[in-house]
């Protein structure tokens, strides 16, 4: 017998698919495609059904309707209200039945109609279907009342959303083992969480019984210390301190797993998990959140339960306002008296920031360091965790697959082991071989799909030809030998694993006149390393010249992320280009010291953003004017050019910033030969456009056209940038007029030439 569920599916082009069970949003999956997400959820739901759970719940309706609704919500940014349009998917059940009943009775349609807005995470029941649109508008505005702009922007999703039916087979429901499990479950089943906890937290014990929690492998000592702290007579609260993805949450999950074992000394311990945002969700008026926290404290005290919070910074930043009493300070008396036990997660940077504002709160917590596992233990943890993934996905990992996963995640900083390696194995398991096996090649392919890195860069079995790579960059970046050598050497260093894993992949200052190829170098690097020029995050530093502008890059306290922090957090594998960096405020240069030296950036909420998989390029025009006067048009030896620009950079930038750069790269002024080559390439690119190829029109041209474009499309102030405009004006516009005049039957061959009046003309050529 099958059980049907509704899945709400969101597709992120080029990234993956997110899906969750409509009636149980915590049952969710993010995968490379919808089939992989469905398999994930079938596995989890199948286990729950086999244990006798969910059968009595209504999870699927034939009359579920889907529609899109446009409404405007106001967001807060820097004390201002900004309108943000949102196009949301709205789901309803019962609307059709209400209209049928009304038609039979000749009355206006009446509910109840169940309403979901899945992207916002709200649902409710409507009694008059005619009020659906204003009802949804009030629901959403209540949930997002005075939300920060960043939160609303994250909801402004424009991709494809759909609702699908997922049928889950549960053939073992009536087996003797399943019946015994159900009887045992009935005996030991705890009452549902009381309202004081259910409204703002989730019970981890229930998730452990459903098999939804991960294990903390090779962490017995840390789990024992955590268990001793939260169960002793003094009931100490604990602050877990460690780098992101080191396994702090896994420790809490392991504690709960052991508490669910019948013969464990922890048996009976309840753990609830929440966050600062969840505590504040829906709170509109002064005093509301305080009442919610007080109800939680009373229930935690009565049940002797433990409360887990996943972010110290978020906890400390919410609820304060002008009252000076935030969530942390509200909890402090209960912590100091031992009435309530908390387990809070934090990084070392979180703790350093909190010491200035919440010293008393930190002193009330027992600090427990969670360091990364040593190499031997990390490999053992990957081995144990992979067995669980293999059983769940019905695949077999070869020993070299485990080694490759550990190697790639350690080398490219994709999270401390075993978390990063296990996530990579889970991604690789979606495409096993015909024999159901995943080898090192499968892991490498999954890593390349997730990061965008080319196979030849990360796979030791694939050869990388340095000379072919150099020639590839020379075709793209004309006349800048120093820059192309830099790009080639950077990639060869990454290939051989000799790059410093604690810093960005590369950090370079590109110096030279405008329009000579600095931005083109960044585009070429992003395209080669990650397969897409969209992986280039470009920031104009002239926009960050005012004092205090650095806050816009990292985000201000209050939950808003800055542009740079947000972009790298969302896509850690990419190229960051900071244009005209000399124009930025000194505070921006201070931020760069952390980025270039330590490979990370602490945003306004205290969270750390890793730059270890990012190439950071700074550009500047410093010294460009004097270089032209001292060395002539494109002249000067390489050594003279390097010395000139290094001197200009040394005179302007602070030594501590320059010392954190891998190299200062000079770009020379364009010579006439380079300008002609760029003009030819730009023209050839324009003549290969779809409008010509679709019509079968072939356009030829001579050197006179190239010379004309090189002469009219070059400006010493702007370099080669006007070339594209010249091609558009002198060639593309002429071709467009000619094609419009010969729309019925354009000749197959045409010739471009410079006419007697010095203008580009067209002539049929067969």
pLDDT, tens only, 472-524: 999 999 989 999 999 999 999 999 888 888 899 999 999 999 889 999 999 99
> Which range (24-33, 268-277, 593-602, 655-664) has the least confidence?
24-33
Structural domain ending residue among the three candidates 427, 453, 479: 453
Asked if 110 and 101 touch (Cβ cutoff 8 Å), the reply is yes
d(CA 186, CA 263): 18
Mean pLDDT of the 259-283 span: 83
Which pLDDT band holds residue 321 (cuts at 50, 70, 90)?
Answer: very low
Residue 79 lies in a domain: yes
Mean pLDDT of the 330-351 span: 88
Residue with token string 């090189």: 710
Per the prediction, the chain carries an average pLDDT of 84
pLDDT of residue 171: 54
pLDDT of residue 605: 63
Q: What spatial distance separates the first Cα and last Cα of the chain, rounded to whole Å?
A: 72
pLDDT of residue 112: 82
pLDDT of residue 158: 61
Beta pairing partners, 72: 85
Structure tokens at 429: 């398991």
Which domain CATH number covers 695? Answer: 1.10.8.60
Domain count, the chain: 5
Q: Which of 532, 517, 436 is nearest to 482 (CA)?
A: 517
Q: Is 6 a residue whose pLDDT tops 90?
A: yes
Residues 206 and 347 in one domain: yes
d(CA 297, CA 293): 6
Beta pairing partners, 306: 271, 341
pLDDT of residue 324: 47
Element (H, E) at 23: none
Residue with token string 């947000």: 566
pLDDT of residue 396: 94
Q: Is 347 a residue whose pLDDT tops 60?
A: yes
Residues 692 and 661 in one domain: no
Residues 424 and 484 in one domain: no
pLDDT of residue 170: 64
d(CA 358, CA 329): 8
Residue 178 lies in a domain: yes
Mean pLDDT of the 261-281 span: 84
pLDDT of residue 101: 62
Residue 169 lies in a domain: yes
- Between 530 and 191, the more confident residue is 530
Sign (positive or negative) of CA dihedral 532, 598, 547, 82: positive
> If DSSP codes are grouped into helix, strand and coil, which group holds residue 694?
coil
Which pLDDT band holds residue 325 (cuts at 50, 70, 90)?
Answer: low
pLDDT, tens only, 674-716: 999 999 999 998 999 888 888 888 889 999 999 999 998 887 7
Alpha helices per DSSP H over 364-416: 375-393, 399-412
Structure tokens at 184: 């045992």
How is residue 732 annotated by DSSP?
Answer: I
pLDDT of residue 261: 87
pLDDT of residue 319: 59
Residues 480 and 546 in one domain: yes
d(CA 355, CA 761): 73
Which pLDDT band holds residue 179 (cuts at 50, 70, 90)?
Answer: low
Angle in degrees, CA 4, 6, 12, rounded to 5: 135
Structure tokens at 285: 């008026």
Burial of 463 (0-12, 13-18, 19+ CB in 10 A): exposed
Residues 96 and 9 in one domain: yes
Residues 251 and 399 in one domain: no
Q: Which of 646, 619, 400 is nearest to 509 (CA)?
A: 619
pLDDT of residue 696: 85
Residues 226 and 175 in one domain: no
pLDDT of residue 465: 93
What residues contact 291, with CB distance under 8 A and at least 6 apart? none
pLDDT, tens only, 358-392: 899 999 999 999 998 988 898 899 999 899 889 88
Q: Is 185 a residue whose pLDDT tops 60?
A: no
d(CA 469, CA 493): 13
Which domain CATH number covers 226? Answer: 3.40.50.300
Q: Is 143 a residue whose pLDDT tops 90?
A: no
CA distances from 460 to 375, 404, 454, 472, 633 (A): 21, 10, 12, 21, 44
Mean pLDDT of the 174-200 span: 56
Long-range contacts, stretch 220-224, CB < 8 angstroms, 24+ apart:
222/251, 222/368, 222/370, 223/251, 223/254, 223/255, 223/258
pLDDT of residue 102: 60
Structure tokens at 753: 């030439």
Alpha helices per DSSP H over 653-750: 655-658, 672-687, 690-693, 703-712, 722-727, 733-741
Residues 541 and 619 in one domain: yes
Residues 615 and 538 in one domain: yes
Kindly state the percentage of the chain with pLDDT values over 70. Answer: 87
> Which range (455-459, 570-574, 596-600, 715-719) has the least confidence?
715-719
Residue 602 lies in a domain: yes
Long-range contacts, stretch 730-738, CB < 8 angstroms, 24+ apart:
730/759, 730/760, 731/683, 731/686, 731/687, 731/705, 731/760, 732/686, 734/760, 734/761, 734/762, 735/692, 735/699, 735/762, 736/691, 738/762
Structure tokens at 361: 């709160």
Residue 460 lies in a domain: no
pLDDT, tens only, 89-126: 999 998 776 666 665 656 655 668 899 999 888 888 88
Residue 459 lies in a domain: no
pLDDT of residue 286: 59
CA distances from 154 to 207, 550, 570, 605 (A): 27, 22, 11, 17
How is residue 269 annotated by DSSP?
Answer: -
What residues contact 261, with CB distance under 8 A and at least 6 apart? 267
Residues 355 and 404 in one domain: no
Confidence (pTM): 0.65
Structure tokens at 132: 């659906």
Structural domain ending residue among the three candidates 369, 403, 438: 369
Mean pLDDT of the 388-413 span: 88
Q: Which of 212, 198, 119 is nearest to 163 (CA)?
A: 119
Residues 8 and 143 in one domain: yes
Residue 280 lies in a domain: yes
Mean pLDDT of the 437-461 span: 91
Residues 655 and 707 in one domain: no
The residue segments making up the domain with residue 435 are 375-453
Residue 61 lies in a domain: yes
Q: Is 659 a residue whose pLDDT tops 90?
A: yes
Structural domain ending residue among the three candidates 620, 643, 666: 666
């Amino acid at each position: 017998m099958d059980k049907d569920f509704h899945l709400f599916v969101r597709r992120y082009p080029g990234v993956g698919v997110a899906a969750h069970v409509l009636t149980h949003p915590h049952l969710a999956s993010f995968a490379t495609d919808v089939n992989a997400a469905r398999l994930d959820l079938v596995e989890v739901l199948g286990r729950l059904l086999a244990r006798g759970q969910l059968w009595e719940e209504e999870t699927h309706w034939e009359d579920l309707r889907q529609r899109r609704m446009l409404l405007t919500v106001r967001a807060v940014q820097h004390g201002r209200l900004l309108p943000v349009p949102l196009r949301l998917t709205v789901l309803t059940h019962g609307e059709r039945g209400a209209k049928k009943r009304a038609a039979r009775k000749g009355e206006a349609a009446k509910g109840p109609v169940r309403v979901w807005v899945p992207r916002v995470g709200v649902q409710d029941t409507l009694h008059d279907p005619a009020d659906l649109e204003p009802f949804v508008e009030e629901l959403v505005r209540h949930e997002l009342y005075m939300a920060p702009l960043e939160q609303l922007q994250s909801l402004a999703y424009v991709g494809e959303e759909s609702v699908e039916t997922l049928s889950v087979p549960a053939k073992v429901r009536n087996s003797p083992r399943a019946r015994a499990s159900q009887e045992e479950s009935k005996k030991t089943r705890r009452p549902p969480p009381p309202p004081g906890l259910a409204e703002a937290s989730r019970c981890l014990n229930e998730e452990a019984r459903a098999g939804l929690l991960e294990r903390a492998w090779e962490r017995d000592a840390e789990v024992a210390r955590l268990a001793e702290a939260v169960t002793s007579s003094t009931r100490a609260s604990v602050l877990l301190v460690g780098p992101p993805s080191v396994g702090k949450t896994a420790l809490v999950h392991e504690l709960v797993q052991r508490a669910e074992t019948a013969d464990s000394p922890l048996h009976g311990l309840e753990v609830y998990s929440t966050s600062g945002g969840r505590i504040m969700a829906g709170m509109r008026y002064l005093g509301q959140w305080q009442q919610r926290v007080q109800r939680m404290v009373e229930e935690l005290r009565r049940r002797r339960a433990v409360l887990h919070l996943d972010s110290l910074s978020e906890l400390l930043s919410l609820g304060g306002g002008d009252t000076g009493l935030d969530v942390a300070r509200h909890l402090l008396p209960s912590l100091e008296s031992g009435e309530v036990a908390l387990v809070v997660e934090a990084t070392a940077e979180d703790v350093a920031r909190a010491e200035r504002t919440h010293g008393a709160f930190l002193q009330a917590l027992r600090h427990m360091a969670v360091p990364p596992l040593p190499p031997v233990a990390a490999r053992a943890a990957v081995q144990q965790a992979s067995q669980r993934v293999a059983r769940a996905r019905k695949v077999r990992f070869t020993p070299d697959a485990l080694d490759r996963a550990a190697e790639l995640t350690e080398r490219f900083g994709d999270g401390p082991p075993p978390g990063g390696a296990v996530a990579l194995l889970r991604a690789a398991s979606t495409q096993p071989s015909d024999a159901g096996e995943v080898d090192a090649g499968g892991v490498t392919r999954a890593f390349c799909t997730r990061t965008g890195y080319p196979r030849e860069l990360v796979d030791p079995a694939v050869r990388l030809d340095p000379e072919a790579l150099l020639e590839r960059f020379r075709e793209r970046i004309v006349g800048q030998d120093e820059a192309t050598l830099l790009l080639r050497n950077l990639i060869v260093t990454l290939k051989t694993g000799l790059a410093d894993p604690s810093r960005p992949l590369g950090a370079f200052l590109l110096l030279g006149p405008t329009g000579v190829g600095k931005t083109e170098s960044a585009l070429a690097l992003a395209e080669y390393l990650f397969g897409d020029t969209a992986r280039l995050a470009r920031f104009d530093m002239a926009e960050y010249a005012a004092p205090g502008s650095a806050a816009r890059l990292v985000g201000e306290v209050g939950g808003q992320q800055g542009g740079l922090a947000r972009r790298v957090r969302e896509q850690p594998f990419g190229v960051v280009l900071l244009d005209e960096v000399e124009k930025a405020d000194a505070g921006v240069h201070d931020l760069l010291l952390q980025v270039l030296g330590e490979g990370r950036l602490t945003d306004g909420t205290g969270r750390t953003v890793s730059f270890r998989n990012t190439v950071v390029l700074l550009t500047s025009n410093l010294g460009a004017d004097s270089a032209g006067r001292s060395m002539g048009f494109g002249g000067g030896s390489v050594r003279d050019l390097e010395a000139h620009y290094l001197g200009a950079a040394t005179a302007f930038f602070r030594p501590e910033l320059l010392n954190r750069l891998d190299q200062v790269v000079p770009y020379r002024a364009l010579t006439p030969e380079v300008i002609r080559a760029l003009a030819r390439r730009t023209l050839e690119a324009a003549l290969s456009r779809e409008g010509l190829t679709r019509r079968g029109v072939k356009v030829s041209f001579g050197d006179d056209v190239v010379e004309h474009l090189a002469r009219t499309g070059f400006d010493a102030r702007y370099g080669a940038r006007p070339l594209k405009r010249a091609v558009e004006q002198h060639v593309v516009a002429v071709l467009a007029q000619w094609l419009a005049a010969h729309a019925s039957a354009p000749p197959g061959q045409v010739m471009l030439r410079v006419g007697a009046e010095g203008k580009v003309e067209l002539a049929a050529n067969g």
